Structure 1
C-alpha cells in the first residue's frame, strides 16, 4: 500500500488568520529537527511551535547529555522560550526571537539549522539532507483527530535526514554526523486542556540502520505486555500503533501491527530505558528491534503533559546498531501512578 507524500513547499506552510477571522487558540504549526552524538551521549531537540491565533510562538534549543536529567534545567543546555513573537520569515528562512534559525535551502530536501547562545558558549550549525521521501503524517496522539477542524486541511510530514555539522556545547566542539528524523505539523488543533486525550503513554521510535532498513512507529504498550499503565485507561480493541512505516531501499511499506514491550523504566522520570519492538509489514515480513536509552531528559514543550526525549541505541536482528531519538508523552494520571510505584519500591 503506497503511503502518501507531500510536496516540499509544505515546509513553508505557515498560514495566519485573515483579518476578522478567528481561529481556535489551540491550532498550531510546528517544525522539529534533532540530532545525536552517541559517543558523548548527547541528544538535541530543536523546535518551533507556532500559535497563529495570537500570533505567538514558542521553542528553542534543548541539549541533554547522559541519563541523570530529572528537571528541565538539569540539561546540558536549555534555551526554550514559551512566549515569543511570531518568527521572522524572510524567503525560505525562519528565525525565532531567541535565535534558532531554519533555512530551507531546498524545501522538502535540505535545510540548515543554526543557533548561537547569548554568551557565545553554545552554538549549533548543522545541515539536514533528506534520505527518505517527505511522508504525509496526521496527528501525533491517538484521539487528537477528534479535535481537528478538517475544513482547514490539517496535515503533517515526517522525513529522515542525514545530519552533519557541529555542536559547540559550553565551549567544547562536537562533530555531528548522524541520521535523524524531522517532522512538522500545520493547522492541527492540539488541545492542551487537562485530560483532553485519555490515552496511555505514547512512544515514537524512528530508527535508521541504512537505506535498506528505516523504521518508524508511534504506539502505546499493548495490554498483553503488562504495561505500567494497565488499569488506568480503556483502549478497547484498537491497535496499539496508529502510525508506522518501513523503508526497504526505494520501497516504502505500511505496517500491519506493532508490539512494543518495555523491560525497564527510569527510576526518576519513568521513561522506558530498555524495550523491544516487534512489527510486521504489509508484505508479511517480520522485524524485531531491541533498544536502550543512553541519554534522556524531560522537555518543556507541552503543558499538562510529561514529555521526554532520549537517545536510544537500537539493535536489529542481524546485530546492526544505530542511534536515534525516542520520545514519549503521557498525562498526569499516569505520572502519579508511576510516582506511587517508585515510592513503594523505596519504602515498601
Structure 2
C-alpha cells in the first residue's frame, strides 16, 4: 500500500484495489468486499455489500450495504489493512491465506471468513477497458487474480450463515482508472470465473461476440470489428494452467432493468485444442457502487459444463460512461 513522496508527480486516477467475494448458493446470497485506494489524495473507498436474489435495482435494495465513497487512507500494519468502516484484512500467509472481518455499527451484521488460495496468483494486464491506454503514473502497473476457498461465518441482520465456497479474488495496482467523461468508450465487459473443483477452473474477461447480435452491436461494432473480444482467459485442468486461445461468449437473457447478462453460454478452446462449453444463469444479481461515470453489476452465477459439473461463482459486469443511457434510449432488445 505505497504512498508517494511529497512533490512526486502522480496521476490522480492511479488506483490500488482489493476485491474479495463469497456466496451462499442455497440462500441466493452473494457478497462484494471491495477496497479502492487513490494515493494521489490520499483516500480510499469501499466496504461490504451483501445481496440476495435478483431484484437489487438500487444499492439500498441489497440485504446489507456499508460502502463508503470517501474514507481516509487505511491503517496499514505489519500484516493488516484496516479501513475506516471497520473492514479488516489480515494476511495470515502472503499470497495464500487471508482473514477478513467486519462488524456493522449495530452489531447485527458481522463477517469472519478465511480465504485460502487453491491456485497461484495469475498475472493479468487489465480488466476495465481503457486502463491499457493510460500508464503515465510512474508506478509499476498490473493486476492478478487468484481462486480462493472461502470458509467462515456471516451474520446477516441477526441471522447466522455458514460460508463454504470457492470465489476468485482480484487485485490491481498502479493502473490509471480514469473517471473523465467519455474517456473510455466500450460495451459492457464481463468477468466470469468458475471453479468446478480444485482440479478444474476456468476464467475469462471479455465482451459478447459480435456474431451473437448483442444489443449494443450498432453502437460499438465499428470499434470492435476485427479485434479480440477477450482481454484475459485461462483454464486449470488437473492442477495445470493452460492458456485459452479462443473464447465465444453469447448472452441469451438480460435483466429487464439492470440490463446485465442473466443467462449466457461460453465456449473456449485451450492451447492444446481442447474445447470447453459452459452454460450459466444468475441466482443473485445487484447494482453495485464502484466509482462515478461507470455502472457495476455483481452477481452469483450457477455454471454447468457439458459433463454436468456445477460451479457457483461471482460474475461481474462493468458498464462504462454513456452505454446504459444509449442502450435505454435506443430501447434495443436482442
TM-score range, shorter chain: over 0.9
Provide the residue aligned with 1:217 in structure 2: 204
- Give the alignment's Cα RMSD to 1 decimal: 1.4
Which residue of the partner structure matches residue 263 of structure 1? 252
Question: For residues 78 and 148 of structure 2, what CA distance do their matches in structure 1 show?
Answer: 22
Aligned residues: 332
C-alpha distance in 1, partners of 2:139/2:321? 30
Query: Please, which of 83, 90, 107 is the counterpart of residue 94 of structure 2?
Result: 107
* Mapped pair 1:228 → 2:215: yes
- The answer to whether 1:292 aligns with 2:281 is yes
Give yes or no for contact 2:137–2:174 (8 Å, CA) kept in 1: no
How far off is 1:342 after superposition? Answer: 5.5
Measure, in 2, the Cα distance between the counterparts of 1:151 and 1:51.
14
Residue 34 (structure 1) shift: 0.2
Show the 5 A alignment for 1:13-52: 14-52=1-39
Matches of 2:117 and 2:7, distance apart in 1: 39
1:161 aligns with 2:161: no
- In the alignment, what sits opposite 2:158? 171
Deviation at 1:257, TM superposition (A): 1.1
Cα separation, 1, equivalents of 2:47 and 2:110: 12
Q: Which residue of 2 aligns with 1:280?
A: 269
- Encode CA deviations 1:290-318: one digit per residue, 9 max, x unaligned: 00001010111121111110000000110
Alignment CA distance shift 1:270-1:344 (3 Å): closer
- Structure 1: gaps spanning 5 or more residues: 1-13
2-structure distance, mates of 1:151, 1:166: 41
Query: How far off its partner does 1:85 sit?
Result: 0.4
- Whole-angstrom distance in 1 between the partners of 2:197 and 2:34: 26
Give the CA deviation at 1:68.
0.7
Give CA deviations for 1:264-302 in whole Å, capped at 9, x if unaligned: 100011111110011001111000100000101011112
- The residue that corresponds to 1:64 in the other structure is 51
Q: Distance in 2 between matches of 1:93 and 1:332?
A: 34
Deviation at 1:341, TM superposition (A): 5.7
- TM-score normalised by L of structure 2: 0.97
Aligned pair in 2 of structure 1 residues 343, 190: CA closer, same or farther (>3 Å)? closer
Query: Aligned residue for 2:304?
Result: 315
1:3 corresponds to: none
**1:260 touches 1:277 (CA, 8 Å); kept in 2?**
yes
Q: Is contact 1:211–1:248 with CA below 8 Å preserved after alignment?
A: no
Q: Deviations over 1:182-214 (max 9, x none)?
A: 011111111111222111110000000012210
Could you tell me how far apart the structure 2 residues matched to 1:119 and 1:150 are?
40
2:327 to 338, 344, 347: 338
2:170 is the alignment partner of 1:195 = no
Q: CA deviation at 1:338?
A: 3.4
Q: Write the distance in 1 (CA, Å) between the matches of 2:311 and 2:332.
A: 34
Give the whole-Å Cα distance in 2 for the aligned partners of 1:343 and 1:222.
17
TM-score, normalized by length of structure 1?
0.93
Stretch of structure 1 that moved more, 140-149 or 295-304: 140-149
